[in-house]
Structures are given as C-alpha cells and as structure tokens.
C-alpha cells in the first residue's frame, strides 16, 4: 500500500519533470524522494534515555547512548540534556542578551548583533558535574549510557566573549560574571572573570546548524572543560560584579560535600576521565572468545589527554591503547585496543593520563579521599566484567 503510494508520487514527479524537460527522466522503483531536512534510516534506533526527576515535566536529564556513537562527535539529536525547569520556547528574532553591572556601557545585543562578530568554531566535550553520581554512592547503573551518559561532544560555533566585552568597558572591579538563562527558573551561575576572558564563548551553533532548543537555542554560554551546568543555556543576561551571586545552583547544588561535613564550592573543572563504551554493561559477546575491539572515550577539562591504557586482566597489567588523531584539547578522544579474548571470565577497564601528568583514579582511591556523597565530579576508572557466556556487567 505504502509502496504503491510512493510509486504513484514518483510517477507524478517524473511527469512534472518531463513536462519541463525535453527528455523524460527515468525514476527508480526503489528510490525515495529527497528531503529538505534529513532524517536517519528507519532501521536506526539509537536514542537518549530520559529520566524525569519530578512529576512536573522538564526537570530531569536525558543521557547519550555513548555505546552507539561512532567517532567523537555526538549527533545533536543525541546530545545529553539536564534541565532544571524544562526547555523554553524562544524566538531568535526577539531574543536579547543584556550585559550590565560593572561595565562602562551596559548594552543589549540581539542575535543579529551577536552574529556580526567574527565567528569561532571549536570541538569541546560537555559533561554534567553530576555524571555517575550513582557510581560514587555504590549503586552504579548497569549500562554506560546510564552511568556515563551525561557526556557529549560537539563542534560549537559562536563568538569569543572576550571580544564582545571590548565594547562594554569592563571595570577593573568586575571579578565575576553572573550568567542567567531565560528558562522558567531563570537559572544563574557565577563565573570567575579569568575564565570569561580566557576561552568563554557565546554559542549559537552546534554541529554546523543552530543550537537545538534543548541545548539553549538561540544562545548559550560555553565554558570549555567546566561542569556542564556553568555553560548556561538560553542565555539572556550577563551581570558583571565584584563577587559571586551565591545562587542556589552554586551553593545548594554543584557543591561537593566531603566526609568531614565541609563542602567544596566553585569546583568547576572536569578532571581527566576515560571509559570503555564497547564492550560495556548490557552487551553480550559471542561466547568462546575471539578477537574484539575494545573502544571508548577519554577526556579532560585541563587540556589534552596524553595517554590511555587498557587492562583486560582486572588491572594486573596495562597496555597503551591507540588514540585516534587528531587528539583535540578539551574534546572527547576516541581510543581503540584490539583484544584477543580467551573466552574465560575477564575484567576490562581503561585509565587515562592528561597532559598535566594527572592519572585517573580508581573508585577506591576516589572514595578514600572524597567519601561517597560529594555527588559531583566523580571520575574514577570503570571496570566491566565479561562472563564466560559473553555477558558484560558492572564489575
């Protein structure tokens, strides 16, 4: 039935074309129409997993299927989400960014104004500060999507904030920038001015097209290498001040409670981390052993990954994995490692070292220092167990 319809519309198209050309154009029985905006094959089902945190829809997260991503870029439709009051519907034609506070010339920029600045594109990872909180508490999710999926990587396009600020006359007392979103809750975070002037971006593009609404359309802040929450989405106000706002999301949340009852505040940088995404929890290898490629991601908020190592014997020995070039600073790095599985039970894991010499800790090393309830910035090694029947589970 469907096929017949398709065929009819093809014939119609052919007839229309024929009318305007001298020669009839052949159409193929099996070929589909072109589309003005493409969609993936109906045979592909890769999807985010949504976790609503409240009955009021919108406060929650959706996680990237890391085990199904090829290469290093997260397709925009699969980029992770974390919202505190849903996704607002904003028209870019009327959206405005207010810059005020300790500046000589407070201004309002439209999206057209922002796009007049010279554009800057760069590939950066983005990871939620709360990624893998369950792992730290000792209740890890069974799949890599569940445990690590608040992680994505995209090519972002926008303008360097330092360039925009040349026009407003930043005053020397301005030590912080309070960034506020136009979401229902007007979420706000304070950012030290050093980061603002170093590499902060006003972003309107994601993977070559406009930001997706759930990524902050039409404008978001992007702070490379820092916990995702600071890259405020739906950005509509930048307030320059001598001190931080001490907003709810930088005091009550996104602070790290230690074993002694004291909490660390303004812990921004995501430290080095890696994880094997294939084979990973929930997958099943054909039993009996054989040659398999172990692959996954490594990343660090402090620059470049220097080394990724893989162990296939529970951490007894380690060997260097191959890092796919180019290894970009502050972006996901794809690593690969050929594994001749002997068919016996095995524990596989990856660990990475960044260019500062920092080595990714084990779970035991991390909780010995931070305890189980710091809640953010968990970056420990994640071992997977491969059973004799090929089933892969959390080790």
Partner 1 sequence: MAGLYAVALWAQGRPATSEEMKRRDLTVFADGRGLPVGKGSAVQGQGIYKAQCAVCHNDRGEGREKQYPALVGGIGSLATDKPKKSVGSYWPYATTVWDYINRSMPFDHPRSLSVDEAYAVTAFVLHLNGIVGESQELNEKTLPLVEMPNRNGFVPDQRPDIKAKR
Cis peptide before 218 (omega within 30 of 0): yes
Choose the contact partner of 186 out of partner 1, ligand HEC, none; CB within 5 to 8 A by kind: partner 1
Site map 165..194 versus partner 1, x via CB under 8 A: -xx----------x-x---xxxxx------
Q: Looking at residues 326 to 385 of the shown chain, list those that interact with ligand HEC (rule: CB under 6 A).
A: none
| 49 binding partner 1? (CB under 8 A) | no
| 54 binding partner 1? (CB under 8 A) | yes
Q: Of the ranges 51-59, 207-215, 297-305, 354-362, which one interacts with ligand HEC (CB under 6 A)?
A: 51-59
| 387 binding partner 1? (CB under 8 A) | no
The sign of the dihedral angle between the CA atoms of 318, 323, 329, 331 is negative
- Report whether 347 contacts 395 (CB < 8 A): yes
**Of residues 296, 284, 293, 275, the one with CA closest to residue 69:** 296
Residues 328-343: b if buried by 16+ CB within 10 A, e if exposed: bbbbbbbbebebebee
**Of residues 263, 237, 212, the one with CA closest to residue 107:** 237
Tokens of 356: 């500062």
| 118 binding partner 1? (CB under 8 A) | yes
Cβ closest to ligand HEC, residue 6 vs residue 59:
59
Closest CB 130 distance from partner 1, rounded Å: 13
Cβ closest to ligand HEC, residue 75 vs residue 86:
86
| 319 binding partner 1? (CB under 8 A) | no
Other beta carbons less than 10 A from residue 185's beta carbon: 15
Site map 201..220 versus partner 1, x via CB under 8 A: --------------------
CA separation for the pair 168, 161 (Å, rounded): 11
| 252 binding ligand HEC? (CB under 6 A) | yes
Cis peptide before 326 (omega within 30 of 0): yes
CA separation for the pair 294, 356 (Å, rounded): 26
Q: Are strands 96-101 and 49-52 parallel, antiparallel or unpaired?
A: unpaired
Cβ closest to partner 1, residue 39 vs residue 260:
260
Q: Of 73, 269, 285, 391, which lies in the binding site for partner 1, with binding defined by CB under 8 A?
A: 269
Q: Are strands 235-241 and 96-101 parallel, antiparallel or unpaired?
A: parallel
Residues 89-117: b if buried by 16+ CB within 10 A, e if exposed: ebebeebebebebbbeeeeebebeebbeb
Q: Of 6, 27, 46, 59, which lies in the binding site for ligand HEC, with binding defined by CB under 6 A?
A: 59
Binding stretches for partner 1 (CB under 8 A): 53-56, 59, 84-85, 98-100, 105-110, 113-114, 116-118, 163, 166-167, 178, 180, 184-188, 236-237, 239, 241, 243, 245-248, 251-252, 255, 257, 259-269, 271, 358-362, 365-366, 369-370, 372-373, 377
Which residues contact ligand HEC by CB under 6 A?
54, 56, 59, 84, 252
């Amino acid at each position: 039935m469907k096929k017949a319809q398709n065929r009819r519309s093809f014939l119609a198209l052919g007839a229309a074309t024929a009318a305007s050309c001298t020669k009839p154009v052949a159409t193929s029985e099996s070929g589909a129409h072109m589309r003005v905006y493409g969609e993936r094959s109906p045979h592909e089902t890769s999807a985010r997993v949504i976790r609503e945190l409240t009955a009021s829809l919108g406060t929650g997260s959706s996680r990237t299927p890391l085990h199904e991503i090829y290469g290093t870029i997260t397709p925009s439709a699969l980029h992770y989400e974390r919202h505190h009051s849903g996704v607002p519907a904003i028209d870019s034609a009327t959206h405005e960014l207010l810059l005020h506070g300790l500046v000589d010339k407070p201004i309002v920029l439209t999206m057209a104004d922002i796009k007049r600045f010279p554009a800057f594109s760069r590939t950066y990872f983005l990871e939620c500060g709360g990624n893998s909180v369950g792992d730290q508490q000792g209740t890890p999710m069974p799949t890599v999507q569940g445990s690590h999926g608040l992680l994505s990587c995209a090519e972002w396009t926008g303008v360097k904030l330092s360039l925009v600020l040349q026009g407003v006359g930043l005053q020397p007392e301005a030590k912080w920038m309070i960034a506020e979103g136009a979401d229902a809750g007007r979420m706000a975070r304070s950012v030290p001015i050093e980061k603002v002037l170093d590499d902060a971006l006003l972003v309107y593009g994601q993977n070559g097209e406009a930001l997706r609404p759930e990524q902050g359309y039409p404008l978001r802040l992007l702070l490379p290498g820092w916990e995702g929450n600071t890259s405020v989405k739906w950005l509509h106000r930048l307030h320059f001040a001598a001190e931080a706002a001490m907003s709810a999301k930088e005091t009550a949340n996104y602070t790290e409670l230690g074993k002694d009852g004291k909490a660390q505040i303004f812990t921004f940088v995501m430290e080095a981390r890696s994880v094997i995404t294939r084979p990973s929890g929930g997958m099943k290898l054909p039993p009996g052993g054989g040659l398999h490629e172990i692959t996954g991601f490594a990343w660090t908020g402090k620059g470049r990954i220097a080394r990724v190592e893989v162990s296939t014997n529970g951490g007894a020995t380690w060997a260097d994995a191959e890092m796919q070039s180019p290894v970009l600073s502050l972006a996901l790095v794809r690593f690969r490692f050929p594994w001749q599985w002997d068919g016996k039970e095995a524990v596989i894991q990856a660990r990475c070292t960044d260019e500062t010499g920092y080595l990714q800790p084990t779970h035991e090393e991390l909780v010995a220092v931070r305890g189980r309830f710091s809640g953010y910035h968990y970056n420990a090694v994640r071992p997977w167990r491969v059973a004799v029947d090929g089933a892969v589970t959390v080790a």
